[in-house]
């Protein structure tokens, strides 16, 4: 079985890489955090000293990094992936970044004889752990088919959206929907609480109807239990919505609801809450409503 490179072993990357090892793949890994690398080494992975070393040892490389500058540094920087790739190497960037950055980097990869997919994920840490993530992919169909069997070991849905960059455009659309849904759930539960109605009963009453959603079932229980341990941090959602705003500006479009929700998240960031799960958006409404969402 071929050796797979995996760069980026954070909240999402670590469980994703572990799932590939469980599936029987041989991994060569790199991260700037030694403790994260050690966890993968203990699970059977080989550690590399740089992204270049990963590329020198692997014909398929997966990256899972915070934002566009990090991906560019790993691919294009000193001792980066492009210094070590061979013709035919496939790079699958699973990070959620600006779609234009994916297009730019794919051109550089092609100059070295390699191929690239952008394949951002949705589902957060819980779905990374249980290998049920959703992958939204952009790139050439033949490159997608080559990567798909590997991505399927980490996710329940793997879809080719279109050409390079379209995966990240789909992810931005996803993040808009998620953020606005969380805001709506927060607003509704705070209203119910303020009116003296049990918010937990409201949640159970509406979840089976049209208002029911994956977001509602994932985030309402966290709000009700006051559990804001990060599955997906507010600061990362701010990054995604900022990328969405940039994408909208590029096509001369306004995003009025997204603008409002981004402002709410930035207010929480100023309060030092950027490391909390994005379900903590409920705290914005609790502050203006002077009430806390809890079961009555």
For residue 182, report the phi and psi dihedrals to the nearest 5 degrees.
-60, -40
Q: Is 219 a catalytic residue?
A: no
pTM of the model: 0.90
Query: By C-alpha distance, which of 219, 282, 119, 89 is closest to 273?
Result: 282
The confidence band for 1, taking pLDDT boundaries of 50, 70 and 90, is low
pLDDT at 2: 80
- In the predicted model, is pLDDT for residue 124 greater than 90? no
| Secondary structure (DSSP) of 179-195 | HHHHHHHHHHHHHHHHT
3-state helix, strand, coil in the chain (%, to 5): 55, 15, 30
pLDDT at 146: 97
State CA 131 to chain mean position distance. 14
- In the predicted model, is pLDDT for residue 241 greater than 80? yes
The conformation of residue 207, written as its DSSP 8-state character, comes to T
pLDDT tens for each residue of 69-100:
999 999 999 999 999 999 999 999 999 999 99
- 216-248: b or e for each residue (b if 16 or more CB lie within 10 Å)? bebbbebbbeeebebbbbbbbbbbbbbbbbebb
Average of per-residue pLDDT values in the chain: 96
d(CA 270, CA 280): 14
d(CA 262, CA 91): 31
In order of start, what are the domains of the chain with their CATH numbers? 3-162 (3.40.50.720), 169-289 (1.10.1040.10)
Query: By C-alpha distance, which of 237, 246, 127 is closest to 175?
Result: 237
At 167 the three-state DSSP class reads: helix
- In the predicted model, is pLDDT for residue 125 greater than 90? no
Share of the chain above pLDDT 70, in %: 100
Catalytic residue among 171, 219, 239, 273: 171
């Amino acid at each position: 079985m071929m050796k797979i490179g995996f760069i980026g072993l954070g909240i999402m990357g670590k469980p994703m890489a572990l799932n590939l090892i469980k599936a029987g793949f041989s991994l060569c890994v790199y991260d700037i955090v030694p403790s994260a690398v050690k966890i993968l080494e203990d699970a059977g992975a080989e550690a590399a000293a740089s992204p270049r070393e990963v590329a020198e040892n692997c014909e398929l490389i997966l990256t899972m990094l915070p934002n566009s500058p990090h991906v560019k540094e790993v691919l294009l920087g000193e001792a980066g992936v492009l210094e070590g790739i061979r013709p035919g190497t496939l790079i699958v960037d699973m990070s959620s970044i600006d779609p234009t950055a994916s297009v730019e980097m794919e051109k550089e990869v092609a100059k070295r004889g390699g191929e690239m997919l952008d394949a951002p994920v949705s589902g957060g840490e819980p779905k990374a752990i249980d290998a049920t993530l959703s992958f939204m992919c952009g790139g050439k169909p033949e490159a997608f088919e080559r990567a798909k069997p590997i991505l399927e070991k980490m996710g329940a849905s793997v879809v080719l959206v279109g050409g390079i960059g379209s995966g990240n455009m789909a992810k931005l659309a996803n993040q808009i929907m998620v953020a606005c849904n969380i805001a709506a759930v927060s607003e509704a539960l705070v209203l119910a609480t303020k009116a003296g109605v049990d918010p937990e009963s409201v949640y159970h009453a509406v979840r089976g109807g049209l208002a029911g959603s994956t977001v509602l079932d994932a985030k309402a229980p966290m709000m009700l239990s006051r559990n804001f341990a990060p599955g997906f941090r507010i600061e990362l959602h701010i990054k995604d919505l900022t990328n969405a705003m940039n994408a909208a500006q590029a096509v001369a479009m306004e995003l009025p609801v997204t603008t409002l929700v981004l402002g709410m998240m930035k207010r929480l960031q100023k309060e030092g809450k950027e490391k909390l799960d994005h379900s903590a958006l409920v705290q914005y409404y609790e502050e203006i409503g002077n009430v806390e969402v809890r079961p009555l």
